[in-house]
Structure 1
Amino acid sequence: MRFLYALILLGVTAVWGWTFVVVQDAISVYGVMPFLAARFLLAACALIPFTLRRITRRTLVAGAGVGLVLAMGYLFQTLGLLYTTPTNSGLITGMFVVFAPLSDRLLFGVRIPRPVLVAVVLSFAGMVLLAGGNPDGVNFGDLLTLICAAALGLQIALLSRYAAGHDSLGFASVETSVMALLFAAVWVLSGDVSFPPRSVWMALIVTGLLASAAAFWAQTFVQQRLPAARAAVILTMEPVFAALFGYWLAGDRLDAVQIAGAVLILSALFVGEMLPFFSRRRTKKGLPSDPV
């Protein structure tokens, strides 16, 4: 079953990789805070009707705390897209693979299994090559996105620790509602409230319903069943998908060094997920598993 959970989470990363291009186009028309508020209000409205009876006081407290951390990640990621490319944003966001197990270790003392540790090292090396191949160098948007990566890494660790025992759909609904209320409040206080133009509605539907409501539920469901470090390894596929969609939709191009980085990330997925999967199957069949 863990292999199936990994595939679900991989699908989530593909959707998120696609949205880097979608979001950059939308905020250039509508602005960062209006877009974030409209996106998460739409996501919250989609989830709340199905989750009101599933939300307990305990879920409300835990989900709100994790939602605040997630809101910080999305805020810095979206602001960063004003100053950097979708490909750059996706690649740097992938640095959460380093921050997630570090947060898990520092906050909760969780030991990192050897295959996952190797996968984290490979992923980090892939991130370095992917970002190092960028001819534009580090800019302000890259730095904002690095803060996003730290927040997302912390969110992954918190989700693996506190989502267990909660209804996954209810937990995702609380996370989304907290972000919606926070961004909407800032939007109203900024005095720049306006109805979304027709040109951004498709982006709002894709990011609000698919990349937020559905994806947060899937992520919470999976991370109730997978440890933070292993989930972080799977989620490193997000920058690969971001680079692919950046190439296809935004005209971004990868050089040989960046392609090598993408290959390292794919190898990290194999080491962190496929090898343990086949090892467990060998054990169930009564065959000696390879030492790890």
Structure 2
Amino acid sequence: MKITELRADILLILTAIIWGATFLPMATATVTNGVFVLLFWRFLITFFIMVLIAYKFSSKLDFKAIKYGLILGIFLFVGFSSQTFAFKFAQTANVAFISGLNVAIVPFVVYAFFKEKISIYAYIGVALGCVGLYFLSDPSAGFTKGEALSVVCAFAWAFHIVFTSHFARKCELFTLLATQFIVIVALSAIFANVFDGGINPTLDYNFYKAMVISVIFASIFGFIMMGTMLRLTTPVKAALIFTLEPVSAGILGYFIGGETFGMMQIIGAVIIISAILISEIGTIKSKQA
């Protein structure tokens, strides 16, 4: 079955919801394990699984995919490490919401590096997405170290989304993914030895839960979907869809983690969903014109 842009967007929506669901388990795991220890084991396991997938479905070694994967791996490491560290200093929902501001950064990265024109519907969607993220955030909490790290994460995610969309069209996907994962493993090992005293994890229930959820659902399924579907849709629309991540994280943080999720945040979630619908309808209308 041929995957259309609409189906690709629906699968990215599912990916965003799954990614949001991993925020709380990862945040809980940071209580007993260092950030870089968690990243090391998560992506080491993911790397070996992805190598098996690449061996099964790839006919030859794609050196271009390795080169691109090294670049994407750096963006991904900065994004994950800053975001996971932010969990130590801010609420799960706040970290997710501010990280989601990559939606406002992506159009500028797209234009700066690839000179691609952005449709008016995309701009409207991005603007509404930012408004929704503002409502979802908690300004009364102040701008702490956690919020600052989340801003760093937002920039890293923006570059990763844009360049994944560009690179995934030019090389073999599974090798690309495996390479960026091993970059995270290597950098996490270095930083874990500096900041966490080594890579040995605390093998408690929260660690195992975080590993299962983050490896199988977020890393294997999520990144395969991201790399595949970004070949079929635009990075601007993908970034807008990924603003559903904090919505998912906020809902789970409220019902499971005991975090606050008031009327303003509900309004923000509705605005974000509306922004995605406007962007999607705009895409359909522009194709019919």
TM norm. shorter chain > 0.5: yes
- Are residues 1:127 and 2:130 paired? no
| Maintained 8 Å contact 2:33/2:201 | no
Which residue is 2:269 aligned to? Answer: 262
Which residue is 2:48 aligned to? Answer: 45
Which residue is 2:189 aligned to? Answer: 184
| TM superposition shift of 1:169 | 2.3
| TM superposition shift of 1:97 | 0.3
Name the SS of the counterpart of 1:193 in structure 2: coil
Which residue is 2:175 aligned to? Answer: 170
Moved over 6 A (4+): none
Residues 1-292 of structure 1 mapped to structure 2, 5 A cutoff: 1-52=4-55, 53=58, 55-131=61-137, 133-188=138-193, 191-199=197-205, 200-277=207-284, 280=287, 283=288, 289=289
TM-score w.r.t. length of structure 1? 0.91
Q: Separation in 1 of the partners of 2:184 and 2:199?
A: 17
| Maintained 8 Å contact 1:95/1:127 | yes
| Maintained 8 Å contact 1:33/1:187 | yes
| Maintained 8 Å contact 2:22/2:214 | yes
| TM superposition shift of 1:117 | 1.0
User: Structure 1, residues 215-269: CA drift from partner, whole Å, max 9, x if none?
Assistant: 1111000111111111111111111111111111111222222222211111111
**Worse-superposed segment, 26-35 or 179-188:** 179-188
Q: Separation in 2 of the partners of 1:224 and 1:171?
A: 14
Name the SS of the counterpart of 2:143 in structure 1: coil
**Worse-superposed segment, 75-84 or 162-171:** 162-171
TM-score w.r.t. length of structure 2? 0.92
Name the SS of the counterpart of 1:84 in structure 2: coil
Q: Separation in 2 of the partners of 1:166 and 1:222?
A: 14
Q: Separation in 2 of the partners of 1:259 and 1:137?
A: 20
Structure 2 gaps, min length 5: none
**Worse-superposed segment, 102-111 or 112-121:** 102-111
Q: Separation in 2 of the partners of 1:91 and 1:193?
A: 29
**Worse-superposed segment, 21-30 or 253-262:** 253-262
Name the SS of the counterpart of 2:22 in structure 1: helix
| TM superposition shift of 1:204 | 0.9
| Maintained 8 Å contact 2:51/2:174 | no
Letter in 1 for 2:279: G
Letter in 2 for 1:226: T
| TM superposition shift of 1:167 | 2.1
Q: Separation in 1 of the partners of 2:245 and 2:222?
A: 13
Q: Separation in 1 of the partners of 2:152 and 2:67?
A: 24
The total of aligned residue pairs comes to 281
Give percent identity, aligned residues only: 24
Letter in 2 for 1:181: A
| TM superposition shift of 1:15 | 1.0
| Maintained 8 Å contact 2:38/2:201 | no
| TM superposition shift of 1:172 | 1.5
Q: Separation in 2 of the partners of 1:210 and 1:143?
A: 28
